[in-house]
């Protein structure tokens, strides 16, 4: 059995402090990048909304923005969950309730809301749609181990 001295313990703890300080800096950089992307997304969203009529703004959840090259319709969070919603809108609804989640967590919430769904096909379809929404900058992602944690990038209703 190896004898551990007080100096060994102090050295170990100092290494831990150094590691955690680096980790804090890395997390701050991630938060800064997310905040920058969020602000850019909000500016783009506000410029898209400027042309909408006051009637559509009053309706909010039914507003539609014309698709233009390089721009995508923002995710509009449904007021309630309905099985006939597109998977994109179902994801927006779930993320509005849980704030952020990995693919399996989103699938679990969808299964609770719609028990007749089959898990395997749902997971495959979720992978495709989440990737598509991420590529259109409609969802924010943070690397969580080997997975992505998804969250909404805009505050639509």
Q: Among 43, 132, 120, which residue's Cα sits nearest to residue 141? A: 132
Task: Name the fold adopted by 6-152.
Answer: Arc Repressor Mutant, subunit A (1.10.10)
pLDDT at 37: 62
Write down the pTM of the prediction. Answer: 0.54
Q: What is the residue extent of each domain of the chain?
A: 6-152
User: How high does pLDDT run on average in the chain?
Assistant: 78
pLDDT at 75: 83
Q: Among 136, 85, 135, 138, which residue's Cα sits nearest to residue 113? A: 85
């Amino acid at each position: 059995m190896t004898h551990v001295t007080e100096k060994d313990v102090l050295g170990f703890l100092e290494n831990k402090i150094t590691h955690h300080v680096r980790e804090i800096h890395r997390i701050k950089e991630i938060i800064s990048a997310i905040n920058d992307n969020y602000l850019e997304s909000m500016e783009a969203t506000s410029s898209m909304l400027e042309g909408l009529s006051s009637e559509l703004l009053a309706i909010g959840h039914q507003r539609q923005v014309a698709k233009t090259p390089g721009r995508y319709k923002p995710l509009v969070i449904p007021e309630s969950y309905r099985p006939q919603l597109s998977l994109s809108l179902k994801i927006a609804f779930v993320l509005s309730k849980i704030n952020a989640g990995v693919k399996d967590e989103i699938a679990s919430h969808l299964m609770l809301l719609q028990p007749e769904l089959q898990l395997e096909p749902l997971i495959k379809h979720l992978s495709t749609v989440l990737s598509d929404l991420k590529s259109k900058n409609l969802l924010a992602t943070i690397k969580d181990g080997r997975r992505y944690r998804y969250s909404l990038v805009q505050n639509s209703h």
